Amino acid sequence: MKRSLCLLQQLPAAGRYCSSANLLGFQPSKMARLPPTHLIESSVEHTEPVQINTRIIDRDTPFSHSSFTKLLDTSLPSRGFGISAFLFDQFGHLIDVENYNCIIRRYTDSGKHSYSVFVYTQMHRLDVRPDNSTFPSVLKSVAQLSYVGFGESVHSSAIKLGFGSDIYANTSLVYMYCVFRKCKDARMLFDQMPERNMVSWNSLISGYSHIGKFREAIDVFREMLGSNIQPGEVTMSSVLCACAHLGALDEGRFVHDYIVNNGLMLNVYVGTALIDMYAKCGDIDAGEKVFLAMSVKNVRTWNVLISGYAMNGRGEMALKSFNRMMMENFKPDGMTFLGVLCACCRKGFVEEGRWLFARMRNEFGLQPKIEHYGCMVDLLGRGGFLNEALETIQSMNMQPDAVIWRALLFACRFHGHVELGDFATQKLLELEPQNADNYVLLSNAYVHDKEWAKVGEIRNLMTNRGIRKVPGWSSIEIENAMHVFQASDSIGPGYENVHTMLAEVKEKLKFAGYEADTRMVLYDVEEEEKEHNLIYHSEKLALAFGLLKSSNKTLRIMKNLRICQDCHHFFKLVSAVYGRNIIVRDRYLFHHFAGGICSCKDYW
């Protein structure tokens, strides 16, 4: 044993072997996420696995793939790439490409992507020729690590080795280029593939979804249906995710109908994706029906249902589902408590929120994350318990982020607590000096107090720092087509009648008691100009278009920013006067307008 330990202690410096990772453009400077390299220092520090492995080296026992894998598993996590490179030098030639593939695949599947890439570099250094089974796993790891240059080198290597037309290599390359946001390259490669299977289509769809190109993902799904490839459960989960993010309910319903009509399995993954889609499209009742139809559920299924109730203003149902979940012996996790705390926050259930937050720690042993603290600060602040909200921030075992200070600032503005609001503002601008939302929130506070000089100072400060406010936009889906409007008094071709319709709606609402709420308009201008600015908010334009073009009783509108007070009041009156149900998904939650009432009870 002593001789074996001496052998390991005399290994060359790690850097000499790490240089092999330079192969194919894989530079050490780009390996920031790789584990640190350490040499074994003394027998006292050796764990039992290392002692067993040193006996293998010492006794010259017949070397097998399993023995090498044990050595590698021991050295890579704790000892770094130096010893691992030495192991490849000594024994790498004794294992074949199938064994290399097995090692790479196992590291990729277990999320140890740096190790997977490292083993691939050793294959090249030892002249072990990869085959078509090598590339799918290593390319997935390269994508997860965002090693763009190395990924392109692997692509080049696959072509040189004769795998340029291989369906498995190309499928993995398509996904990798999507993750790298090289969508044109991904699409070009996909179109040039001589053969495509369901996995190839899935790679493009999931790749687009992964980087937020949800409309493109749905378009590819439509293309897939026109081919001879039948989509499966994995395809459906990816497309439903895209529909959920877009709020494209009609597309989501089409996917649901396809699942039912083609006999696809409503497994736990597809079922959960359906619930999530319906919840994020504002139809939580349909999501509830899917939940009840599922024979198998997991904790994530319950979490999606609870969060869906919360974001749609069904706080009571979220809490009931939480209780039912525990009665059916599902153990809640951090996401479960985040969902119920959000539900309490949306409905102003302060006592219930306090009880759940304490129960999370004391009964279930879950340490709150910053998101849970954010919910509590928002809940307490909105409820008027500003000192308790500040105490909650001060009790955190982590640094509060901008979201928490923004929640406190919003509560201070709502309740008129100027001194604490100024303190929250200072913290907020220290953390995010370039975030336009912070300046807008502060500017709105000055507008509320009609301190127009300070409003001008904030706007000048934004200009001098090159900070631009995020433009407001809203979208509405009519007959499977998404129509997008920006906050402006100008409008594109094909929408000429929207202004006329909006003027008619405004006049009709005046008889129902509508008066423009100009308190939060940002400049000290004439009242007529303030009203002019308000009437052309993007959500009002989308609403007017929906009233013109849709005969459906329910109109669904998505907005990228928080809905303003005037638009909120405007939509309530429209729902009563025109007898339409209106669902607005803004940046924070859903507003369900019906009969002159909003589901948020004016608490948002």
Q: In sequence order, what DSSP letters do the residues of 27-96 get, joined into one string?
A: -GGG-TTSPPP-----GGG--HHHHHHHHHHHTTPPP-HHHHHHHHHHHHHHH-HHHHHHHHHHHGGGS-
Angle (CA) 354-360-363 rounded to 5° is 115
pLDDT of residue 80: 53
Number of H helices, E strands in the chain: 31, 6
Mean predicted lDDT score pLDDT of the chain: 82
Distant-in-sequence contacts of 222-227, Cβ < 8 A, 24+ apart: 225/258, 227/196, 227/201
pLDDT of residue 72: 64
Residue 363 tokens read as 């009964």
Strands of the 581-585 sheet, one edge to the other: 481-486, 473-478, 554-559, 581-585, 590-594, 597-598
Residues 447-459 as b or e (16 or more Cβ within 10 Å = b): beeeeeeebeebb
pLDDT of residue 19: 34
pLDDT at 353 over 60: yes
Asked if 120 contacts 26 with a C-beta cutoff of 8 angstroms, the reply is no
**Mean pLDDT in residue range 134-152:** 92
pLDDT at 7 over 80: no
pLDDT of residue 5: 27
Minimum mean pLDDT range among 285-299, 457-471, 588-602: 457-471
**Using CA of residue 346, residue 352, residue 356, residue 357, what is the dihedral sign?**
positive
pLDDT of residue 59: 40
DSSP 397: S
Identify the band that residue 339 occupies on the pLDDT scale cut at 50, 70 and 90. Answer: very high
User: Residue 554: what residue type?
Assistant: T
Q: How far is Cα 577 from Cα 409, in angstroms, rounded to an integer?
A: 36
Output the CA–CA distances (angstroms, integers) from residue 1 to 56, 59, 60, 61, 567, in the order listed: 10, 10, 13, 14, 78
pLDDT at 532 over 60: no
pLDDT at 64 over 60: no
pLDDT at 584 over 50: yes
Domain ranges of the chain: 84-195, 473-598
Minimum mean pLDDT range among 220-234, 326-340, 445-459, 533-547: 445-459
pLDDT of residue 215: 92
pLDDT of residue 318: 97
Minimum mean pLDDT range among 124-128, 163-167, 300-304: 124-128
pLDDT at 557 over 50: yes
Q: How far is Cα 77 from Cα 73, in angstroms, rounded to an integer?
A: 7
Q: How far is Cα 69 from Cα 44, in angstroms, rounded to an integer?
A: 24
Q: How far is Cα 130 from Cα 426, in angstroms, rounded to an integer?
A: 57
SS3 218: helix
**Using CA of residue 129, residue 132, residue 137, residue 139, what is the dihedral sign?**
positive
**Mean pLDDT in residue range 579-598:** 92
**Mean pLDDT in residue range 218-239:** 92
pLDDT of residue 294: 94
Q: Report how far Cα 457 is from the mean position of its chain's Cα atoms.
A: 35
Higher pLDDT pick, 519 / 597: 597
pLDDT at 57 over 90: no
Phi, psi (deg, nearest 5) at residue 590: -95, 140
Asked if 214 contacts 237 with a C-beta cutoff of 8 angstroms, the reply is no
Minimum mean pLDDT range among 263-272, 522-531, 534-543: 522-531
pLDDT of residue 17: 30
Identify the band that residue 171 occupies on the pLDDT scale cut at 50, 70 and 90. Answer: very high
In CATH, what is the architecture of 84-195?
Answer: Alpha Horseshoe (1.25)
Name which of 263, 267, 282, 274 is nearest 239 in CA terms: 274
pLDDT of residue 106: 83
pLDDT at 202 over 70: yes
Q: What percent of the chain has pLDDT over 70?
A: 81
Beta carbons within 10 angstroms of residue 581's beta carbon:
15
In tens, the pLDDT along 258-293 reads 999 998 888 999 999 999 999 999 999 999 999 999
Asked if 99 contacts 82 with a C-beta cutoff of 8 angstroms, the reply is no
pLDDT of residue 67: 63
Alpha helices (runs of H) in 432-537, residue ranges in sequence order = 436-448, 452-464, 497-510, 527-535
Identify the band that residue 66 occupies on the pLDDT scale cut at 50, 70 and 90. Answer: low
pLDDT at 32 over 60: no
Minimum mean pLDDT range among 17-26, 183-192, 400-409: 17-26
